Structure 1
Amino acid sequence: MPTRRPSTNLDPEPASTTPARGRSGSEQAEDGGGRTLRRGLQLLDAVLAADREGLRVVDLCRIAQLERATVHRLIATLVESGYVAQRGRFRYVAGQRLAALALNDAAPNLAARLRPVLERVSTACGDAAFAIVREGAASRCIARHVGTHPIQILVIQVGTRQPLGVGAAGLALLSALPDDQVKAAIAANATSLPRYRGMTPERMALLVQATRERGWSVIGNHATDGVLAVGMAVHNAEGEPSAAISVASTLERMPRERQQLIARLMRDALAALLPAGV
């Protein structure tokens, strides 16, 4: 006697591929594509509504009322496209592409809030100061302030994008991210890093480690020859890294003592002007 499959309230994949009477194959394909898209968006909505710890596959199955195989297939596509990221071995959170969209919306406000900080630091040290935000595995300059010293090193302009970490502000922001996001960003930039005067993923990982130990970043001769810059991450009210600032000058003008001075100037300016974060 044939075994009956237990009933379930999960939404299984269609069992039959026979076209419905009176409907073309293309219409059937369009219906299937629409159903897949709705299911994928349903999973994305669930991930976005979750807390920062993310959701497990079993959670997504329960929320979306889908079978495990379907969830695995859809979530793999969302991860591959950058809309969802894996946290640890079993949980899923919003991915870099969504974070970049959110930062694009917030960038004008971040720039306005960071400009007084840049002005204060630049006025105190005489060199140009910059602010950047993260866009996936890249950084984008959102503000800068030109100093009073006769020689100004304007390494980037507002709007300039480059791999996260090759500049001092980008390195400070990269170093403030969780380990899994650091590894993902470095891996994403692996082929483009060598264009920055011999930067490699291995060297970038060492710079991240040194930045975390020091509390601020320092990098020279990679983004621009003969230039050294100091950077510091900027956190939001929840303590998450949202932006970073930096000061750049010539190598001769940046001995170790002055690097430390500029780091103190940045820390003091952030504490005075943005005590609750950006």
Structure 2
Amino acid sequence: MTSDKENLSAARKVCRILASLSDPKVSRLIDISERTGLDSSTCLRLLRDLETEGFVERDPQSKEYELGPQVYAMHVARVAGLDLQALARPSLIRLARRFSDTAILSVPAGWESVCVDLCLGDYPITANYLRVGSRRPLGVGAGSLALMLPMSDSEVEAVLPRVHDALKRKYPAYSPQHLQEVIARGRERGHSLLVDVVVEKMSGVGVPICSPGGRPIAALSVAALTERIVGREQELAEALKAEAALIEQAWLPEGHVAEHHKMQ
């Protein structure tokens, strides 16, 4: 990597910092400085600006940096050149209109999930604790939990240490054992269900959206008052699965869409 003496533009310096943070081994200021070729004072100044704008986050205890929610919100998971957010928007609208509750689109980001779009229903009490760009550990929230259902056991095991640490710090009522139980039940049913775990008296149902290879690239979910979820679990799950199937059709080879639709 060349040095800061190149007289790089501010934009190129920012790009180098963001690119360096895509490597999980680069998280400390000294690592970022070494990887980018920028002096530590320049890195620190730019990192503070990026943190203010939501493109970088800094752990107050470890002092380590990582990419922030704005990066993931901008990325919005593209598959085969298709914009997943644009593909899913009609589904979110239909779900919110049909059930009058909040419909959410989430994408995976390492051991977390990111809310990249949502649509509020017209029921007076809504799940308004999420916003575009919000991040949660995998398993925290119906959509975030749905992302774990198609994952292999080895993939789940790889993310669990970070997830368990987050549960202990931020969600003490959500035990690692309970997480394992809801993953197992979700795999059996083909959809996730979380009841009164993340927010009291609020619950959700979610389903994964998978790539042609079967990997979870996103999740659709509906969040609402617990009484509105529990009494309609099956209806919600069927509607979510139907919408997920419609989105997945977008990257099927032409001519296979009709056949895929018959199989749903």
Q: Normalising to structure 2: TM-score of the pair?
A: 0.63
Q: Is the 8 A contact 2:73 2:132 kept in 1?
A: no
User: Deviation per CA, 1:152-204, whole angstroms, max 9, x where unpaired?
Assistant: 22231100011110100010101221111111112222221132242122221
Matched residue count: 185
Partner of 1:49: none
Q: Is the 8 A contact 2:140 2:198 kept in 1?
A: yes
- The alpha-carbon deviation at position 103 of structure 1 amounts to 9.2
Q: Any idea what SS the aligned residue of 1:175 has?
A: coil
Q: What amino acid is aligned across from residue 221 of structure 1 in structure 2?
A: D
- The alpha-carbon deviation at position 240 of structure 1 amounts to 1.7
The counterpart of 1:261, out of the listed 235, 239, 257, is 235
Q: Does 1:136 align with 2:110?
A: yes
Q: Is the 8 A contact 1:121 1:129 kept in 2?
A: yes
Q: What amino acid is aligned across from residue 203 of structure 1 in structure 2?
A: H
Q: Does 1:105 align with 2:75?
A: yes
User: Deviation per CA, 1:55-74, whole angstroms, max 9, x where unpaired?
Assistant: xxxxxxxxxxxxxxxxxxxx
Q: Does 1:162 align with 2:136?
A: yes
- The alpha-carbon deviation at position 106 of structure 1 amounts to 4.5
The counterpart of 2:150, out of the listed 161, 176, 187, is 176
Q: What amino acid is aligned across from residue 113 of structure 1 in structure 2?
A: L
Partner of 2:255: none
| Structure 2: distance between partners of 1:271 and 1:136 | 24
Could you say if the C-alpha distance between residues 163 and 141 of structure 1 is closer, same or farther in structure 2, counting changes exceeding 3 Å? same
The counterpart of 2:212, out of the listed 217, 237, 262, is 237
Which has more radius of gyration?
1
Q: Normalising to structure 1: TM-score of the pair?
A: 0.60
Q: What amino acid is aligned across from residue 114 of structure 1 in structure 2?
A: A
Q: Is the 8 A contact 1:164 1:174 kept in 2?
A: yes
Question: Identity over aligned residues, as a percent?
Answer: 30
| Structure 1: distance between partners of 2:149 and 2:222 | 17
Q: Does 1:116 align with 2:90?
A: yes
- The alpha-carbon deviation at position 277 of structure 1 amounts to 5.3
- The alpha-carbon deviation at position 80 of structure 1 amounts to 8.1
Q: Is the 8 A contact 1:197 1:223 kept in 2?
A: no
| Structure 2: distance between partners of 1:121 and 1:196 | 28
The counterpart of 1:153, out of the listed 123, 127, 133, is 127
| Structure 1: distance between partners of 2:183 and 2:96 | 25
User: Deviation per CA, 1:222-248, whole angstroms, max 9, x where unpaired?
Assistant: 221110100100012332210001101
- The alpha-carbon deviation at position 111 of structure 1 amounts to 1.6
Q: What amino acid is aligned across from residue 165 of structure 1 in structure 2?
A: G
Could you say if the C-alpha distance between residues 273 and 241 of structure 1 is closer, same or farther in structure 2, counting changes exceeding 3 Å? closer
Q: What amino acid is aligned across from residue 87 of structure 2 in structure 1?
A: R
User: Deviation per CA, 1:64-88, whole angstroms, max 9, x where unpaired?
Assistant: xxxxxxxxxxxxxxx9849xxxxxx
Q: Any idea what SS the aligned residue of 1:176 has?
A: coil
The counterpart of 2:186, out of the listed 211, 214, 223, is 211
Partner of 2:221: 246
Q: Any idea what SS the aligned residue of 1:225 has?
A: coil
RMSD: 2.8
- Structure 1 segment 13-92 matched on structure 2, within 5 A: 81=25
Runs ≥4 residues deviating over 3 A: 79-82, 100-108
Q: Is the 8 A contact 1:129 1:248 kept in 2?
A: yes
Q: Any idea what SS the aligned residue of 2:143 has?
A: helix
Could you say if the C-alpha distance between residues 206 and 191 of structure 1 is closer, same or farther in structure 2, counting changes exceeding 3 Å? same
